[in-house]
Amino acid sequence: MSLASSPLLRVLATTALIVALPGCNNAPVDGPAQAALDALVASCTRHLAAREPVVRPGTAAEWTKTGYSPAQVQGEVKPTGSPVTPYVGKIVIKDNEARATAPSEAAAQAVTLTPAHLLSNRTHTFIYSFDGKQWAWQNGQRLTKIPGHSDATEPLTRADVDGTGPQGFAPCLPR
């Protein structure tokens, strides 16, 4: 099989062209691709809005409470011009992670997380392809900004984000 006939390489090349040419293909997308991504964004938003802080044992004689700010979730669909993958999509999730410690579980439960407890600002970016019928996960990454530290970017696989708890993003993934 030649490189030019590989569907994955065509998707990647088309995605690279879309990203490299801002202003091109900015016409609004309507139809099944947009409706399906809108549904995915709505599911993702509901899941993230329902997150509750979690209290867990920490280091010696400490308990940790971790919570997340309400997330900003934005979706975008771009046409590719390819008959194999007519659209690519992206969901960007921005939220904050806060953490506080206390000497007991009850004390940790009682903590009200505030901006003073900010641990990090996070941006999750998920990329999808649409084959004309449904969206498929392609890849993802998380950018974490921790005050006083260097920014960190890590690639995410579908398995990394397929959890349902407060740290998971399963409702943000096509099924």
Residue 169 burial (CB count, 10 A) = 23
Residue 19 burial (CB count, 10 A) = 11
Q: Which of 41, 38, 22 is nearest to 30 (CA)?
A: 38
Parallel, antiparallel, or unpaired for β 72-79 and 63-68? unpaired
pLDDT digits (tens, 9 = 90+) for 52-68: 999 999 888 899 999 99
pLDDT, greater one: 113 or 12: 113
Task: Give the chain's radius of gyration (CA, Å).
Answer: 19
CA distances from 75 to 32, 60, 96, 113, 144 (A): 14, 42, 19, 28, 20
The pLDDT of residue 27: 58
The pLDDT of residue 59: 81
**What backbone torsions phi and psi does residue 54 show, to the nearest 5 degrees?**
-120, 135
Give the confidence band of 116 by pLDDT, cuts at 50, 70, 90. very high
The pLDDT of residue 9: 39
pLDDT digits (tens, 9 = 90+) for 13-46: 444 444 444 444 555 678 999 999 999 999 999 9
pLDDT above 50 (res 121): yes
pLDDT digits (tens, 9 = 90+) for 130-173: 999 999 999 999 999 998 899 999 999 988 899 878 888 999 99
Mean pLDDT of 56-82: 93
The pLDDT of residue 28: 66
Strands in the chain per DSSP E: 54-57, 63-68, 72-79, 87-102, 118-130, 135-145, 152-156
Helix, strand, or coil (residue 170): helix
* pTM exceeds cut of 0.85: no
